[in-house]
């Protein structure tokens, strides 16, 4: 599943370094190739910030992994304590230094770097998918862990059903919006967005009628909020490594008479949730379960 991220290409000098280093180390000799056979790789790297979540779900700890923030998500429960952080973009030098046997990457982003990656180790590029379940199955196929992938999917689906039942017992037919405050703008995410598919689809929380159904997400102004006027607001104020700007924007909204006039605000039905741990919410099973549990706890308590 494609993430809307910025990424750059390595400098020419780095590519020359890679070519020289890889040639001198003969990383594609027969012994290396045998070690990197799918399902038998000892040292694995999955590029993009979502793929490490899939490896974790499959019980595989990579030797290095991309990450947007200074620390890996806490839901990895310490298993990534020795994993080399590669930053948020394709880091060819870092991948080379980690000496992997197998590299798994998204085709939509890494195809143009395939020659450089394949000189480091056997490289498998995965197709773009609309559903994380298919992405998980693709990666599981490379690692010969198809049965584990299906187990993860079954467990996830059962978790969503149980979570939906808990929410319906409390919320019933009342309306919800999922609102995200970022550094300079506020968004409402609808049923077509990755997170909306979870919140309104799998959890069954009713969206407001005024939201344009064809839009994945829209920038929302304070003046428009009364047209939505939901019974409940699931609110994420971006944290990350520096959430000061997003918090400042929300503070200015929260102090207005418009905000205070909303039904959800009057009824104390604004649930402030999420932070950098939500980066892969809607894009991976482990991050989504963590986010859903936070939503359920906030609403039911």
The 10s digit of each residue's pLDDT in 161-172 is 999 999 999 999
Nearest to 240 by CA among 90, 95, 88, 132: 88
Q: How confident is the model at residue 38, as a pLDDT?
A: 56
Q: For residues 250 and 145, what is the distance between their CA atoms, to the nearest angstrom?
A: 44
Q: Answer whether residue 10 shows pLDDT above 50.
A: no
Listed in order, strand segments (DSSP E) in 13-57 are 44-46
Q: Answer whether residue 122 shows pLDDT above 90.
A: yes
Q: For residues 28 and 22, what is the distance between their CA atoms, to the nearest angstrom?
A: 8
Q: Answer whether residue 45 shows pLDDT above 70.
A: yes
Q: Answer whether residue 51 shows pLDDT above 50.
A: yes
CB 125 within 8 A of CB 141: no
Residue 275 banded pLDDT, cuts 50, 70, 90? confident
Q: For residues 15 and 9, what is the distance between their CA atoms, to the nearest angstrom?
A: 10
Weakest-pLDDT range from 31-40, 181-190, 201-210, 226-235:
31-40
Residue 194 banded pLDDT, cuts 50, 70, 90? very high
Which of the given ranges, 6-20, 110-124, 240-254, has the highest pLDDT on average? 110-124
Q: What sign does the dihedral 85-53-296-173 (CA atoms) show? A: positive
Fold that domain 12-147 belongs to in CATH: Rossmann fold (3.40.50)
Same fold, 12-147 and 160-300: yes
Mean pLDDT across the chain: 87
Phi, psi angles (nearest 5°) of residue 110: -100, 0
Q: For residues 179 and 207, what is the distance between their CA atoms, to the nearest angstrom?
A: 12
Phi, psi angles (nearest 5°) of residue 144: 60, 45
Contacts of 262 (CB under 8 A, 6+ apart): 225, 226, 229, 230, 233
Q: How confident is the model at residue 27, as a pLDDT?
A: 41
Output the pTM of the full model: 0.84
Q: For residues 232 and 264, what is the distance between their CA atoms, to the nearest angstrom?
A: 5
The domain ranges of the chain are 12-147, 160-300
Weakest-pLDDT range from 21-30, 83-92, 142-151, 207-216:
21-30
Q: Answer whether residue 124 shows pLDDT above 50.
A: yes
Q: Looking at the domain that runs over 160-300, which CATH code has it been given?
A: 3.40.50.1980
% of the chain with per-residue pLDDT over 70: 85
b/e per residue 129-151 (b: at least 16 CB within 10 A): beebbebbbbbbebbebeebbee
Q: How confident is the model at residue 245, as a pLDDT?
A: 86
CB 88 within 8 A of CB 68: yes
Q: How confident is the model at residue 242, as a pLDDT?
A: 57
CB 288 within 8 A of CB 76: no
């Amino acid at each position: 599943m494609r993430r809307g991220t910025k990424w750059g290409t390595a400098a020419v000098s780095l590519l020359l370094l890679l070519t020289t280093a890889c040639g001198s180390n003969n990383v594609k000799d027969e012994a290396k190739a045998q070690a990197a056979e799918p399902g038998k790789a000892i040292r694995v790297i999955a590029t993009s910030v979502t793929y490490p979540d899939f490896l974790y779900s499959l019980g595989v700890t990579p030797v290095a992994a991309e990450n947007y923030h200074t620390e890996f998500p806490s839901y990895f429960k310490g298993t990534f304590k020795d994993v080399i952080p590669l930053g948020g973009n394709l880091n060819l030098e870092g991948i080379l230094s980690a000496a992997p046997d197998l590299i798994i990457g998204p085709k939509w982003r890494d195809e143009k770097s395939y020659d450089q990656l394949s000189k480091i180790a056997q490289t498998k590029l995965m197709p773009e998918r609309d559903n994380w379940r298919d992405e998980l199955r693709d990666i599981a196929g490379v690692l010969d862990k198809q049965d584990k992938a299906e187990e993860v999917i079954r467990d996830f689906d059962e978790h969503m059903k149980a979570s939906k039942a808990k929410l319906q017992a409390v919320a019933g037919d009342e309306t919800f919006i999922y609102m995200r405050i970022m550094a300079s703008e506020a968004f409402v995410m609808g049923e077509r967005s990755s997170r909306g598919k979870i919140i309104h689809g799998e959890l069954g929380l009713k969206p407001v009628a005024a939201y344009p159904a064809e839009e994945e997400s829209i920038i929302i102004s304070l003046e428009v909020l009364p047209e939505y006027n939901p019974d409940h607001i699931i609110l994420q104020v971006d944290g990350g490594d520096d959430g000061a700007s997003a918090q400042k924007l929300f503070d200015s909204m929260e102090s207005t008479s418009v905000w205070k006039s909303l039904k959800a605000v009057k009824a104390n039905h604004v649930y402030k949730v999420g932070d950098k741990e939500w980066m892969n919410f809607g894009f991976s099973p482990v991050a989504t379960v963590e986010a859903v549990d936070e939503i359920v706890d906030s609403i039911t308590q």
